[in-house]
Amino acid sequence: MNEAYNTLQEQGLTVDIRHIMLVSDMMTNDGDVKAIGRHGISGRKSSVLARAAFEITAHHLLRAAITGEVDYLDGVAENVIVGQPVTLGTGAVNLIYQPPASLPKPSAVPKPKPVPVPPVPVPAPALAPAPEAAAVEPEEPIEEVVP
């Protein structure tokens, strides 16, 4: 524990000693010193998806499928992978409000009926030009003067 703490201090990293104590407890809880990696702590997680999320995804998923291993989605990583809310903090609360029987039930508000819109008259297409329009001669174009 002291070696890990001193190594981090030499690199200019300040880590609370309690974090290092927690990691060292995880590494030695069964009497052997285990690495933190795929052959140590992370490779021995009980959740299939947590192991697959760390390293060698196909290997962990294939082995779990062959042995019929079931993942109950108890951890954070598993729930994030499948897109479910994490059962931690505000996600750990399951409340259902049941109002007292003495309160009146809310009445349904009826939807307003749509107001009918009168149809807009469409002008009939002109079939032939009016006789007055045929008598008017077009104006002559204005000549441009270029200097």
**Mean pLDDT, rounded, of the chain:** 79
Q: 35-88 in CATH: which number?
A: 1.10.150.390
Query: Domains of the chain: which residue ranges?
Result: 1-33, 35-88
- Provide mean pLDDT across the span 84-108: 78
pLDDT value, residue 34: 81
Instruction: Say what the pTM is.
Output: 0.42
Instruction: Look at 31-35, 95-99, 108-112 and tell me which has the smallest mean pLDDT.
Output: 108-112
Q: Which of 98, 78, 76 is nearest to 89 (CA)?
A: 76
